[in-house]
């Protein structure tokens, strides 16, 4: 039996392993949250436990019950652990465990990892994993120290420490879970908290490959060549953050100017950074203008950078799609970025990710509304469709921002969101792997025949 299982595991497709790992973590997490000691009341419904566990493992941050008051410190610890596992990626963790206990990594798992670090195939995979772990814990510790200093005057030492660790991990993993009922709105005006959380989000969301390359190039001066991946990630991140700040500032001028100009700018910066894909908030999302929310949905859809804790379509996909559109408009024969040509296959991959993402979001919104024509049963109010669309994009991009309808969803609606969170977290890389992981050699080539388009 054990042999049979090991055999199956060895032959399993990397994407299946990835998917199974996540599902297993969600199942264990659901069970752990249902322990009587995890909740203050000693009880949580299975769908709410499943929702919370999925949201934590997928580092989404959507919540159906208030993390700080519904769960005991133990329950919050379970969530923290799930976030950390989910953020680092179960594959990374499991490879690291193999490494720690001295066993050889099975070949299939090596393959999946090399897919993750495909840009540096010559590097030793163990070395990379170790670097990921060192980097993660170093940044999280630094973040926790600053946050501890920030909260230490307000809370008892142990509580301040727990909050500091929880929020540092949650921010670095781009999870967006908070122990405060109104997320980070109470600290809206704190420059220290805003900047620390922003730094954690950016370091956690920019992707380890970029950090690694910059470290080797700038600190160690080992290499002066910067890959187009790093250039794309930095250009897209900077561009999206700045555009976001501008749009939010103009669109929410009434709200932000009433705060005083530097608090307003701070809030705009924070909300722009957190939108792709951390999901903290220092303002009430439901109170924002529709135009702002629409632009935030765009940011949520683009998401973080590849090889990071964040979700969404990824900044590189966005860069390639932009370069593709430009090349078609200019009738260029290939898609170029920073003086390099992007391979045809990579362009196709990006387009597939776009089509897949849009299809997943549309199907999910349609399902939620179709299952329950009364619009989620209990959700009324004047922007219900927008609330559902926002919720769905947020779940797919593993962002976790919400206009406040999550807990009002029907059980069926919650299950759709659970599915979408998994699709957004595991589906995108799995889909990318399936779509263009190997060479497309199957299928027949027939005689060509043209059609009219558009």
By CB under 5 A, the residues from 149 to 188 that bind K ion are 176
Q: 3-class DSSP state for residue 59?
A: coil
User: Between residue 103 and residue 142, which ones bind a copy of itself under the rule CB under 8 A?
Assistant: 116, 118-119
Q: How many CA atoms lie within 13 A of 278 on its CB side?
A: 31
Taking CB under 8 A as the criterion, the residue among 8, 41, 328, 378 binding a copy of itself is: 328
User: Between residue 338 and residue 397, which ones bind a copy of itself under the rule CB under 8 A?
Assistant: 339-343, 346, 348-356, 358-359, 362, 365-366, 369-370, 373, 375, 380-386, 388-389
Q: Does 205 bind a copy of itself (CB under 8 A)?
A: no
Q: Which is nearer to a copy of itself, 103 or 333 (CB)?
A: 333
Phi-psi region of 443 (alpha: psi -120 to 50; beta: other; left: phi over 0): left
Q: Which is nearer to a copy of itself, 251 or 282 (CB)?
A: 251
Q: Does 56 bind a copy of itself (CB under 8 A)?
A: no
Q: Which is nearer to K ion, 228 or 360 (CB)?
A: 360
Q: Could you tell me how far CA 127 lies from the centroid of its own chain?
A: 24
User: Between residue 7 and residue 26, which ones bind a copy of itself under the rule CB under 8 A?
Assistant: none
- What single string gives the DSSP state of each residue in 136-181? HHHHHHHHHHHHHHHHTTTS-HHHHHHHHHHHHHHHHTT----SST
Sorted by sequence, the CB contacts under 8 Å of residue 35 that are 6+ apart come out as 74, 75
> Alpha-carbon distance 164 to 319, whole Å?
35
Q: Which is nearer to K ion, 183 or 196 (CB)?
A: 183
The option from a copy of itself, K ion, none interacting with 258 (CB < 5 to 8 A, set by class) reads: none
> Omega of the bond prior to 277 within 30 degrees of 0, cis?
yes
Binding mask 71-100 for a copy of itself (x = CB under 8 A): ------------------------------
Binding-site size for K ion (CB under 5 A) equals 4
The option from K ion, a copy of itself, none interacting with 316 (CB < 5 to 8 A, set by class) reads: a copy of itself
Sorted by sequence, the CB contacts under 8 Å of residue 240 that are 6+ apart come out as 272, 276, 299, 302, 315, 318
Choices 73-81, 121-129, 161-169, 274-282 (CB under 5 A): range interacting with K ion: 274-282
- What single string gives the DSSP state of each residue in 211-271? HHHHIIIIIS-------HHHHHHHHHHHHHHHHHHHHHHHHTHHHHHTT-HHHHHHHHHHH
User: Between residue 259 and residue 298, which ones bind a copy of itself under the rule CB under 8 A?
Assistant: 289-291, 294-295, 298
Minimum Å gap between C-beta 26 and a copy of itself is 21
Q: Does 397 bind K ion (CB under 5 A)?
A: no
User: Between residue 104 and residue 123, which ones bind K ion under the rule CB under 5 A?
Assistant: none
> Alpha-carbon distance 23 to 46, whole Å?
15
Q: Does 61 bind K ion (CB under 5 A)?
A: yes
The total of other beta-carbon atoms located within 10 Å of residue 350's CB is: 25
Minimum Å gap between C-beta 132 and a copy of itself is 15
Residues that bind K ion (CB under 5 A): 61, 176, 279, 400
């Amino acid at each position: 039996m054990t042999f049979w299982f090991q055999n199956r595991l060895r032959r399993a497709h990397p994407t299946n392993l990835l998917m199974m790992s996540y599902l297993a973590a969600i199942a264990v997490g659901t069970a752990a949250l249902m322990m009587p000691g995890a909740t203050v009341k000693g009880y949580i419904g299975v769908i709410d436990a499943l929702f919370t566990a999925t949201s934590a493992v997928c580092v989404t941050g959507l919540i159906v019950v208030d993390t700080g008051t519904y769960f005991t410190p133990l329950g919050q610890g379970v969530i923290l652990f799930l976030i950390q596992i989910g953020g680092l990626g179960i594959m990374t963790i499991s490879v690291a465990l193999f490494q720690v206990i001295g066993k050889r990594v099975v070949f299939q798992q090596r393959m999946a990892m090399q897919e993750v670090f495909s840009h540096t195939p010559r590097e030793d995979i163990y070395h990379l994993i170790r670097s990921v772990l060192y980097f993660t814990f170093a940044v999280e510790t630094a973040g926790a120290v600053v946050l501890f200093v920030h909260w230490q005057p307000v809370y008892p030492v142990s509580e301040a420490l727990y909050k500091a660790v929880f929020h540092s991990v949650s921010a670095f993993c781009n999870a967006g879970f908070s122990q405060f009922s109104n997320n980070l709105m109470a600290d809206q005006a704190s420059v220290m908290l805003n900047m620390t959380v922003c730094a954690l989000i950016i370091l956690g969301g920019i992707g380890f490959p970029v950090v690694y390359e910059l470290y080797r190039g700038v600190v160690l001066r080992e290499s002066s060549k910067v890959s187009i991946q790093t250039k794309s990630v930095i250009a897209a991140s900077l561009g999206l953050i700045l555009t976001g700040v501008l749009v939010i500032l103009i669109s929410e001028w009434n709200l932000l100017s009433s705060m005083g100009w530097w608090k307003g700018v701070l809030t705009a910066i924070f909300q722009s950074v957190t939108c792709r894909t951390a999901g903290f908030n220092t303002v009430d999302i439901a109170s924002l203008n529709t135009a702002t929310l629409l632009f935030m949905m765009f940011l949520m859809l683009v998401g973080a950078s590849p090889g990071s804790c964040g979700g969404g379509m990824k900044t590189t996909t966005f860069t390639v799609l932009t370069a593709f559109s430009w090349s078609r408009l200019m009738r260029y024969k290939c898609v170029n970025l920073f003086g390099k040509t992007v391979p045809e296959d990579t362009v196709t991959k990006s387009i597939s990710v776009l089509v897949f993402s849009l299809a997943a979001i549309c199907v999910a919104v349609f399902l939620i509304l179709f299952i329950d024509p009364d619009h989620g049963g209990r959700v009324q109010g004047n922007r219900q469709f927008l609330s559902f669309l926002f919720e769905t994009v947020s779940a797919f991009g593993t962002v976790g921002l919400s206009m406040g309808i999550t807990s009002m969803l029907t059980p069926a609606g919650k299950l759709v969101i659970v599915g979408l969170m998994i699709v957004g977290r595991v589906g995108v890389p799995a889909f990318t792997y399936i779509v263009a992981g190997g060479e497309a050699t199957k299928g027949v080539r027939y005689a060509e025949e043209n059609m009219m388009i558009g």
